[in-house]
Structure 1
Amino acid sequence: MVLSLVENEEAVIRQNGDYAIVAITKHGVETARRLGSIFQGSDVYYMSKFEKGDEEQKGIQLFQGSVRLLLPSLFKHYKGLILIISLGAVVRMIAPILKDKKTDPGVVVVDDKAEHVISVLSGHIGGANELTAEIAALLGAVPVITTASDVQKTIPVDLFGKRFGWTWESDEKLTPVSASVVNEERVAVVRESGERNWWHHDTPLPESITEYESIEEALKQPIDGALVVTHRLLAEAEEKILDNGVLFRPKVIVLGIGCNRGTAAEEIESVIKETLDELQFSINSVKAVCTIDLKKDEEGLLEITNKYNWEFIYYSPKQLNEISIEQPSDTVYKFTGAYGVSEPAAKKYSGSDKLEIVKKKSGNVTISVAVIEH
C-alpha cells in the first residue's frame, strides 16, 4: 500500500511504534532501513520510487508526493521524528505546524551520509536531545546538541527531576529561571523532599548554583532565581521565592486507605483532599494509595487512582501484620485478618516508621499519611 499525499488532507498512516523514521533520498533510504532494523519502537517511511519489494514484510510504509504533506500526521501521532532530510528543508516544512514545546514531538535530523545527528526541536521536554544521542550511537555518527544547559552541563530546568516523576506547579517562570541558570546568575536549589541524586552530570555543581536546606534560608541570600522541591504548600512569606522561581512537586506522599465496601469515589476523594489540606500538603505530590488486597477491586479506590494516575498498591493480611503499628484493632482483624489496614499499608510502602497522620476515621473512610524520605 502506498500513501498518496494530497494537499489539505491528513495522511492515513499505520502507527506501530513511538518514533517515525523518514527518508526521501537513495542514501537516506538505506540509512532508514538500517536504523529501523535496530531502533526498537520505530516505523519507517520513504518515497515509493525507492521501493525494494520487501516493505510490506518489514512494515515499511511508502508514500508518493511531497514529504511536507506527511509531516502533520506524523507530528500528531509520534513521540519523536527522525528525518533523514536536510536541516534547512526540515525547518521550512515544520515551521507551519509547530504548536507548543510541551506538545510538539522531538525532531531529529540525520544528514544524507549519516555522519551527523542534529537535535532540532523539543530538545528537553520532547526528548530530542536524548533521542539524538541514542540515534548517533546506533549510527556511529556525531551528535549535535545546542541547548545551553546541555552544552554547559548545568540544570535543564524544564527537565529538572523528570526522571523521578517530579512535576512543576506552573510553567510561568520556566523560561526566565532557565535564563538565570544558563547565564550563570545566582540560583538557589531548595530540596525539602524528593530524591537526593538529582545532579546527573559527572562535573561538580556550577558555582552559580547553591543548595539550601529551606526556603527561609534561601530568601536570606541575594538570589536571581530558584528551583524549589517540596511536597508542602508554601506559606505566604515563602511565596516570594517564586517571583523568579519554579516550584516542583516530588512524588513522596503515600496514602494508606481503608474503606467500607461500596464507598463512593467522591467520599474518598473528599477525605483525601481534606486531610492533605490539614497537613498543608500538595495533592500533586501523592505517589500511591495503599490498602489491603480485599480492596483491590474496590471501585471507588480504582476510580480515584485512575483519575490522578496514582499507583494503587495492595497487601495481604500477612504482609500488613508484619508491620509494627500504633493502633491495632481486633475488630479490623475479625473482618480482614489484619490488625490494621491504612496504617501498616502506608508504613510498608513508604518505608517510614513515622506517619504524618497515624489513622484518621472520616465517615466510611480511614486514612493514614506517610512521606517517603530519601
Structure 2
Amino acid sequence: MTLVLEEGRNVSLEQKGTYAIVAITKHGVELARNLHAKFHQTDLFYMSKFERGDEDRRNISLFEGNVRLLLPSLFQSYKGIIMIISLGAVVRMIAPLLKDKKTDPAVVVIDDKGKHAISVLSGHLGGANELTKEVADLLGAVPVITTASDVQKTIPVDLFGSKFGWVWESAEKLTPVSASVVNEEHVAVIQESGEKEWWNYDSPLPETIKVYQSIEEAIHAKPNAALVVTHRNLNKNEEAILHNGVLYRPKVIVLGIGCNRGTSMEEIDQVIHETLNELHFSIKSVKAICSIDLKKDEEGIIAVSQKNNWEFKCYSSEELNRVQIAEPSETVFKFTGAYGVSEPAARLYSGAESLSICKKKSGNVTISVAVISF
C-alpha cells in the first residue's frame, strides 16, 4: 500500500496496530523494520523509495511526499507514534498538532543508529515513558526520560494508582501538587481504600512524602500538598486537605443488583445514585455490578454497566446458594433457584465479610453494596 501525501489531501489509513513507526532514511528504515518485527502492536510507515518488495506481506505501508503530511492522520489514529527522525524535526512537525496532554498520543523519537530512545510527548498520561522503555529494551538502546518524577524516583501525581484504575475527582490541582512532590516539599498521603502496592521503586518512600492514618491527622500536620485515596465523599472539615490536594477514587465498590424483568435503565440508575448518596460514596469508585445469570440479558442492567464502563458479572444459582446471607428468601428461591441475588452476588465478587448495605428494596430494584478490602 502506497500513500500519496499532498497538501489538502486526506490520508486514509488501514490501521491494524496500536502504535505507528515512521522512518524516512535508509538506516532508519532498517531499524524500523527490525523494531516492527519484534513489536507486534505496531504499523510501519516509510518512504516508497526504500521499498523492499515484501511490504504487502509484512503489512508495511509506503508513502510518497513530505512525512509532515502523514502526521495528522497518525495523531488521530494511534495511541503512540515512534519516529526514527531527528528530534528537532519531530518537534517542529508535531507542534501544530498538539492539543492537550490528556488526548495527545505518545511520541517517542529514536536516533538513526538506534542508540537512544527519547520520550518526547505525553510521557505520563499518554504512556510515552513506558513506551520509550519498551522500545529501548527491544533495540538495546538507552531510554531517555526527562520527567522529574521518573528521574527522582518519586510519585507521579498524574499517574498515581492508574495501573489499578484509580481516577481523579478533579485535575485542577495536579500541577501544583506535582510541583510539591518533585520540589521535595512535605506531601501527605492518606489512603482509606484501594490497592496498597502503589510504590513502584526498590528504594524507600522519600522522607518528604509522609503517610498518615487519617485526613484529620494529615490536616493537623499542615503539609504543603496531599494525595487522598478514598471511595467516600469528604465532609466539610476534611475538604481543607484539598486546598492543595488531589482526591483519587479507587475502584472498590461492588453493587449487587436484583430486579424485576424489564426494569428500565433509568430506574436502576436512580436507585444506584440514591443508595451511594445515602452512604456518602463516590460513584467514580464503582468497579462492578453483580447479579444472577438469569439477568445476564437484562437490558436495564446491561445499559447501566455499559454507560458507566462497569464490569457486569453474573453467578449461577448454585454459586449464590453457597454464600451465607442474612435474609434468605423462599420467594426469591421459587423464581430464581437462589435464596438471594444482590447480597450473595456482592459478597462473592468483593470477598467482603460485611456489606455497607446488606439488602435494600426500592421499587423494582434490590441493591446491595460492598467495598473490596485490600
TM-score w.r.t. the length of structure 2 is 0.99
Matches within 5 A, 1:3-82: 3-82=3-82
Q: Which residue of 2 aligns with 1:177?
A: 177
Instruction: Give the share of equivalent positions with the same residue, in percent.
Output: 70
Structure 1, residues 171-201: CA drift from partner, whole Å, max 9, x if none?
Answer: 1111110000000001011100000111111
Instruction: For 1:143 and 1:48, locate their aligned partners in 2 and report how far apart those are by CA, in whole Å.
Output: 29
1:286 aligns to 2:286 (yes or no): yes
1:246 aligns to 2:249 (yes or no): no
CA contact (8 A) 1:10 1:72 kept: no
Instruction: For 1:222 and 1:308, locate their aligned partners in 2 and report how far apart those are by CA, in whole Å.
Output: 36
Matches within 5 A, 1:288-367: 288-367=288-367
Instruction: For 1:226 and 1:7, locate their aligned partners in 2 and report how far apart those are by CA, in whole Å.
Output: 49
Alignment-mate amino acid for residue 248 of structure 1 = Y
Q: Which residue of 2 aligns with 1:262?
A: 262
Structure 1, residues 289-333: CA drift from partner, whole Å, max 9, x if none?
Answer: 000000000000000000000010000010001101001101111
3-state SS, counterpart of residue 93 of structure 1: helix
Alignment-mate amino acid for residue 262 of structure 2 = G
Instruction: For 2:225 and 2:303, locate their aligned partners in 1 and report how far apart those are by CA, in whole Å.
Output: 39
3-state SS, counterpart of residue 9 of structure 1: coil
Structure 1 residue 80: Cα displacement = 0.4
CA contact (8 A) 1:124 1:159 kept: yes
Instruction: For 2:250 and 2:204, locate their aligned partners in 1 and report how far apart those are by CA, in whole Å.
Output: 23
Structure 1 residue 124: Cα displacement = 0.4
Instruction: For 1:188 and 1:8, locate their aligned partners in 2 and report how far apart those are by CA, in whole Å.
Output: 52
Instruction: For 1:223 and 1:310, locate their aligned partners in 2 and report how far apart those are by CA, in whole Å.
Output: 35
Q: Which residue of 1 aligns with 2:190?
A: 190
1:218 aligns to 2:218 (yes or no): yes
Structure 1 residue 7: Cα displacement = 1.3
Instruction: For 1:68 and 1:183, locate their aligned partners in 2 and report how far apart those are by CA, in whole Å.
Output: 38
Instruction: For 2:352 and 2:324, locate their aligned partners in 1 and report how far apart those are by CA, in whole Å.
Output: 11
Structure 1, residues 331-373: CA drift from partner, whole Å, max 9, x if none?
Answer: 1111111110000000110001100000000000000000001
Structure 1 residue 8: Cα displacement = 2.7
| Regions of 4+ moved over 2 Å | none
Instruction: For 2:354 and 2:200, locate their aligned partners in 1 and report how far apart those are by CA, in whole Å.
Output: 30
CA contact (8 A) 1:254 1:350 kept: yes
Q: Which residue of 2 aligns with 1:111?
A: 111
Instruction: For 1:280 and 1:264, locate their aligned partners in 2 and report how far apart those are by CA, in whole Å.
Output: 24
Of 6-15 and 22-31, more deviation after overlay is shown by 6-15
CA contact (8 A) 1:290 1:314 kept: yes
Structure 1 residue 10: Cα displacement = 2.6
3-state SS, counterpart of residue 263 of structure 2: coil
Q: Which runs of 5+ in 2 are unaligned?
A: none
Q: Which runs of 5+ in 1 are unaligned?
A: none
Instruction: For 1:48 and 1:197, locate their aligned partners in 2 and report how far apart those are by CA, in whole Å.
Output: 48
Alignment-mate amino acid for residue 156 of structure 1 = P
Paired residues, number: 374
Instruction: For 1:237 and 1:303, locate their aligned partners in 2 and report how far apart those are by CA, in whole Å.
Output: 37
3-state SS, counterpart of residue 243 of structure 1: helix
Instruction: For 1:106 and 1:225, locate their aligned partners in 2 and report how far apart those are by CA, in whole Å.
Output: 28
Q: Which residue of 1 aligns with 2:139?
A: 139
Structure 1, residues 235-261: CA drift from partner, whole Å, max 9, x if none?
Answer: 011111111111100000000010000
Q: Which residue of 2 aligns with 1:370?
A: 370
Structure 1 residue 57: Cα displacement = 1.1
TM-score w.r.t. the length of structure 1 is 0.99
Instruction: For 2:9 and 2:210, locate their aligned partners in 1 and report how far apart those are by CA, in whole Å.
Output: 53
CA contact (8 A) 1:257 1:367 kept: yes
Q: Which residue of 2 aligns with 1:130?
A: 130
| Cα-Cα RMSD | 0.6
